[in-house]
């Protein structure tokens, strides 16, 4: 996950799910849907940042609960690290 402060008053999300790492479109779309939903639920706690989420190979085999837990930890980490800058 990459983050940079933006000039807007709200966070934005970008997704980079490479076909090279996750071959099947079904798996890439599942990861995108889960990431968007997690972001939607957490966006009010995230400072005004531009976030880019990239997926690793093992994300394709992870179940939804594991993926949601991992994303929740990442949102928290980004919020703590970037809060002083926003």
Q: Write out pLDDT tens, residues 27-75.
A: 999 999 999 999 999 999 888 999 999 988 888 888 889 999 999 999 9
pLDDT at 79 over 80: yes
Predicted confidence at residue 25, as pLDDT, reads 94
Name the residue among 9, 8, 29 with its Cα closest to residue 17: 29
* Domain assignments of the chain as residue spans, ordered by start: 2-85
The yes-or-no verdict on residue 84 having pLDDT over 70 is no
| pLDDT at residue 86 in the model | 55
In this structure, the number of other CB atoms found within 10 A of the CB of residue 29 comes to 12
With the C-alpha atoms ordered 7, 8, 9, 13, is the resulting torsion angle positive or negative? negative
Q: What is the pLDDT of residue 85?
A: 62
Q: Which CATH architecture has domain 2-85?
A: 2-Layer Sandwich (3.30)
How far apart, in Å, do the first and last CA atoms of the chain sit?
17
Which residues are registered as beta bridge partners of 52?
2, 14
Q: Is the pLDDT of residue 81 over 90?
A: no
């Amino acid at each position: 996950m990459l983050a940079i402060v933006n000039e807007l008053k709200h966070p934005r999300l970008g997704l980079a799910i490479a076909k090279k790492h996750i071959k099947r479109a079904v798996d890439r779309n599942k990861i995108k849907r889960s990431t968007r939903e997690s972001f939607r639920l957490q966006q009010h706690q995230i400072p005004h940042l531009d976030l880019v989420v990239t997926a690793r190979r093992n994300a394709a085999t992870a179940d939804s609960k594991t993926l949601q837990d991992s994303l929740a930890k990442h949102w928290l980490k980004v919020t703590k690290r970037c809060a002083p800058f926003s």
